[in-house]
Amino acid sequence: MRSLSVRGRTHSSPLYVIGGKKMDSRCHCLTNNDRVLNPILYNILSQMDSSMQSQDCLNYISVPHRCNCEVRRTLCLKSPSEICKEASAVLVKTVHFIKSLPAFNQLPLSDQFALLRSCWAPLFILGLAQEHVDFEVTDAPADSMLKKILLNRQESPEAKREQPTMAGVSKLKSCLKKFWSLDLSPKEYAYLKGTTIFNPDVPELKAGLFVEGLQQEAQHALREVVQLLHPGREERFARILLTASMLQGITPTLVTELFFRPVIGQADLLELLVDMLFYR
């Protein structure tokens, strides 16, 4: 842990390692009392009262303000061409898995669409874990000041979308590491995917009771295969379900922007999934 002294106070500064590189994630946002003044405004005020100037104060106020806190710091893939190709292959396998389930095809089309919208991202992450797809990230390039001026503050589609942040990527990588530590078998992954697809909590399902029964069957099958493959390890089933609950904390937007935006451009990924599932 390093420390940074700001006007007599000390702030802890944790280091994060991303892609083998140590990055300082401390937030440089200051409190209202320590707010950095606009340099131009400061110069104007300084001319009105030169007695208030000091060299130390000038040096401090001229420091550019940059926030590296987890909420705002945006990231992108370090090797997008390679990882996006692997991610696309996982997504295709995910869609084929859904199409191969007779019980899913028996549901009303509206229920199929609702379940797809709810489960595609968790299923994709399970696919990443099963295929052991690892990835590195780096800071996303920021638009230059000249570009912002020329655009006259007109927001591009990229600026309007929620961008991957350090906090979101950390959740995703933590989730993948948890699954890798469990070392699930293909059958365990298959039944866990079943419990994820058939989620009775999805709103406005016409066949909600049927979906609930399918989820219970998948959970029962998962418990049986866990007991068969790992006898005497009663806690493993609970650990699997607990790890699976982490999937709900990872947004579909993060998955889309991180793994597929470089490939699909402005297209809607959910519309592409619907096309793959129902029309191909």
Mean pLDDT score, 8-29: 48
Range of the domain at 200: 73-278
φ, ψ of residue 102 to 5 degrees: the values are -60, -40
Provide the pLDDT confidence category of residue 51 given band limits of 50, 70 and 90. very low
Structurally, the chain folds into a number of domains equal to 1
User: Does any domain span residue 259?
Assistant: yes
If DSSP codes are grouped into helix, strand and coil, which group holds residue 136?
coil
Cβ-proximal residues to 180 (8 Å cutoff; 6+ apart), any chain: 129, 132
Tokens of 126: 């399970």
- What is the C-alpha separation between 131 and 90, in angstroms, rounded? 8
User: Does any domain span residue 273?
Assistant: yes
pLDDT over 90, % of the chain: 64
Residue 236 has pLDDT above 70, yes or no: yes
- What is the C-alpha separation between 136 and 78, in angstroms, rounded? 6
- What is the C-alpha separation between 194 and 186, in angstroms, rounded? 12
Question: What pLDDT is stored for residue 251 in this prediction?
Answer: 96
Question: What pLDDT is stored for residue 229 in this prediction?
Answer: 97
User: Does any domain span residue 65?
Assistant: no
CB count in 10 Å sphere of residue 3: 10
pLDDT over 70, % of the chain: 68
User: Does any domain span residue 249?
Assistant: yes
- What is the C-alpha separation between 210 and 106, in angstroms, rounded? 10
Q: What is the pLDDT of residues 86-137, one digit of tens each?
A: 999 999 999 999 999 999 999 999 999 999 999 999 999 999 999 999 999 9
Higher local confidence (pLDDT), 51 or 75: 75
User: Beta partners for 137?
Assistant: 77
User: Does any domain span residue 68?
Assistant: no
**Domain with 242 in it: what CATH number?**
1.10.565.10
Higher local confidence (pLDDT), 155 or 64: 155
User: Does any domain span residue 95?
Assistant: yes
Cβ-proximal residues to 39 (8 Å cutoff; 6+ apart), any chain: 61, 62
User: Does any domain span residue 133?
Assistant: yes
Pairing of strands 75-77, 21-24: unpaired
Question: What pLDDT is stored for residue 53 in this prediction?
Answer: 46
Question: What pLDDT is stored for residue 20 in this prediction?
Answer: 53
Higher local confidence (pLDDT), 93 or 154: 93
Q: How many CA atoms lie within 13 A of 144 on its CB side?
A: 3
Q: What is the pLDDT of residues 202-232, one digit of tens each?
A: 999 999 999 999 999 999 999 999 999 999 9
Higher local confidence (pLDDT), 24 or 177: 177
Please give the span between the terminal C-alpha atoms of the chain, in angstroms, as a whole number: 54
- What is the C-alpha separation between 170 and 12, in angstroms, rounded? 20
Residue 13 has pLDDT above 80, yes or no: no
Provide the pLDDT confidence category of residue 162 given band limits of 50, 70 and 90. confident
pTM: 0.74
> Which range, 42-51, 135-144, 156-165, is most confident?
135-144
Judged on CB neighbours under 10 Å (0-12, 13-18, 19+), 124 is buried
User: Does any domain span residue 166?
Assistant: yes
